[in-house]
Structure 1
Amino acid sequence: MSEHHHHLSVDKGESHESHHLGHHGHHHHLTGALYLTLGFALVEVLAGWWSGSLALISDAGHMLTDSTALGLAALAAWLARKPPTGRHTYGLVRMEVLAALANSLLMVMLIVFIAREALDRFAQPIAVQGGTVTAVAVLGLLVNLGVAWQLSKGEATLNTRAALMHVMGDILGSVAALVAGLVIQFTGWTTIDPLLSLLVSGLILVSAWRLLSESVHVLLESVPEHIDLKAVGADLAAINGVASVHDLHIWTLSSGRIALSAHLDIDYLADWTAILVRARHLMDAHHGIGHITLQPEAVNSVPCPSCCPEPK
């Protein structure tokens, strides 16, 4: 057990040093995209309020969800560079999950507000300045395309790909606001504004529900969805010298960081070093699990005849 923890500590230090520059560049791309998205979301809120367009306000809400995704990805990249402490032995990686939970709940509140306002406007339509909506929507589309291009240049991590997916959805929200502005500008049909705001709210709901479910999944220490617990147990049990596996647990520490703990019944304790090396390689290469804690339990009290002579 002590040797195993020592090896993990060394590997973690090497990984921290070798990936420090990569995380720094990754963090730079994410924060730049975050500032662009969050800044223009504020512009859309003000323009939506001034022009009377609910579609612009809802698109700003969708850009806020993108800012959340970008902010969480930047937070994860920043926290990945922070070493553990005596009090926080895993570091502060779970702050990302707590922030995601809080933001997903705020998104749901935003959806309820937009939906209620849209229903009121169906009953009592209000004047909307189509020209202003069109101009701001075009600018929003350009900003989103710029953010997508900036993210595509960064490190292709899981967080970056997720953030890029959110921005691609926000491009659709900008297109919806643009359509609303053009329709109102050329036809005067103001009902299109609350109608398309509900469409954008649906996009926000999809993002919010995914973020909420993933956050709760992590906080409940559930097995990551892409990992088959039985397959992991079978792979460990198939290692030469392992008789059986029990007390197997797999959970998510933070984005891209998965942990595993298990008890392995082994034939001879003398074989433990080779079994540990094989288990660590197998978990990392086949299942993407880099943090493992394994406890050996000998099922055969007789020493290994080939390498451990009987004591005299």
Structure 2
Amino acid sequence: MDSQDGGHGGTHEPHDHLPGTPERHRRGKGGGHSHGAGQTATGRHRRRLVFVLALTACVMVFQAVGAWVSGSLALLADAGHMLTDAAGLLIALVAATLAMRPSTDERTFGWQRAEVLAALVNALILACVGVLVLREGVARWGSEPEIDGGLMLWVAVVGAVANGVSLVILFRAGGESLNMRGAYLEVLGDLLGSLAVIVAAVVVLTTGWVRADALASLAIGLMILPRAVSLLRDVVHVLLEGVPQGVDLPTVRRHVLAVPGVIGVHDLHAWTITSGVPVLSAHIVLDVDRIDWEVECATLDRLRACLDGHFDVAHCTFQLETPSHAEHEPATHA
């Protein structure tokens, strides 16, 4: 592109495709320009997900059988909750596998958004199960079925131990991805649900008050719904191209304007492709009448170092402009 037109595009790794570019400008930081086939936050923890999925499925079957034998609705509700967790974990694993597929001309970011869509499905499943559990809990409140409190307690303790193990496994990964966060929250809810069943079983054993079972079911339902809403809110934020958490655009603007030679910035956008993959683009106005190779490369290097160092945004795309070009270009973002 002729720099005399006043505008020039570039990314955080400038001109790695042009012959004759100095070696220092051809070297990129991190994974280059590849938008697909990279390992997403969920992909890095696939083994953890597989182990937790297997453990969750085993405990789910165990609790379902225990609920049928003991007559406990709370155990059945907890088993149903674990069924949604197992489904959510399976969806997350499938999405993580899809997200590692390479990019194409039709999908330039590959399948990385599959993780976000999986989190959306997970949130909707959680919400449905939460409503069903609440409905059954209310229906059970008016009856007094026979409940084997001893078996109920024993099964709930086993479930709590298994959930505690899964929680420890997912703890470190819970903040890196919407899917991993969803999995972590689901297991946390399972643990709290198992604790509620344990308390209900103790009450049934010591007092004979069988409504404690229905009360525990209602508590489990009330724990499920807020988590579903929270996860759904975060998914919608990503799908609506909201600014990534931890990135404040006014602060980004101040940092960019502090880069030597930069006198203006407009059309500043930041969004998230999938968890752990924030992206930023901007039009940068330089204090020059003509943009040559040296000015462009030096400015792009400074911008890359600023954004990657201060805001952990590794993939940035910048369009460099002269003041005369910026004056007649309409801005779509302040």
* TM-based fold match above 0.5: yes
Cα deviation 1:101-130 (Å, max 9, x = unaligned): 122112211111111111111122322221
**2:272 match:** 252
RMSD of aligned residue pairs (Cα, Å): 3.0
In 1, the alpha carbon distance for the partners of 2:252 and 2:242 equals 15
* Aligned 8 A contact 1:246 1:264 in 2: yes
1:108 aligned partner, one-letter code: A
**2:73 match:** 54
Give the alignment of 1:22-41 within 5 angstroms: 26-41=45-60
**2:217 match:** 197
2:254 aligned partner, one-letter code: A
CA distance 1:234–1:49, change in 2 (3 Å): farther
1:52 aligned partner, one-letter code: G
2:244 aligned partner, one-letter code: P
**2:5 match:** none
1:142 aligned partner, one-letter code: V
Query: Structure 1 length as normaliser, TM-score?
Result: 0.83
1:266 aligned partner, one-letter code: L
Question: 1:96 aligned to 2:115?
Answer: yes
CA distance 1:252–1:272, change in 2 (3 Å): same
What is the DSSP-based 3-state SS (H/G/I as helix, E as strand, rest coil) of the residue aligned with 2:264?
Answer: strand
Of residues 87, 91, 110 in structure 1, which corresponds to 2:106? 87
Structure 2: which 5+ residue stretches go unaligned? 1-8, 17-25, 326-334
**1:135 match:** 154
Distance apart, 1:192 and its partner CA? 0.6
2:149 aligned partner, one-letter code: G
Of residues 228, 240, 246 in structure 2, which corresponds to 1:226? 246
42-51 or 179-188, larger mean C-alpha shift? 42-51
**1:307 match:** none
* Aligned 8 A contact 1:137 1:175 in 2: yes
Question: 1:207 aligned to 2:234?
Answer: no
Structure 1: which 5+ residue stretches go unaligned? 302-312
* Aligned 8 A contact 1:250 1:261 in 2: yes
In 2, the alpha carbon distance for the partners of 1:8 and 1:121 equals 66
**1:280 match:** 304
Query: Structure 2 length as normaliser, TM-score?
Result: 0.78
* Aligned 8 A contact 2:77 2:220 in 1: yes
Distance apart, 1:244 and its partner CA? 0.8
Of residues 10, 14, 35 in structure 2, which corresponds to 1:4? 14
What is the DSSP-based 3-state SS (H/G/I as helix, E as strand, rest coil) of the residue aligned with 1:277?
Answer: helix
Aligned length: 297
In 2, the alpha carbon distance for the partners of 1:8 and 1:59 equals 53
**2:329 match:** none
Question: 1:178 aligned to 2:198?
Answer: yes
Question: 1:120 aligned to 2:139?
Answer: yes
* Aligned 8 A contact 2:99 2:115 in 1: no
Of residues 176, 183, 202 in structure 2, which corresponds to 1:158? 176
CA distance 1:78–1:35, change in 2 (3 Å): same
Distance apart, 1:8 and its partner CA? 9.4
58-67 or 195-204, larger mean C-alpha shift? 58-67
CA distance 1:42–1:249, change in 2 (3 Å): farther
Of residues 244, 248, 261 in structure 2, which corresponds to 1:241? 261
In 2, the alpha carbon distance for the partners of 1:150 and 1:104 equals 21
Distance apart, 1:211 and its partner CA? 1.1
143-152 or 256-265, larger mean C-alpha shift? 143-152
Distance apart, 1:12 and its partner CA? 2.3
In 2, the alpha carbon distance for the partners of 1:68 and 1:266 equals 52
1:12 aligned partner, one-letter code: G
CA distance 1:25–1:253, change in 2 (3 Å): closer
**1:306 match:** none
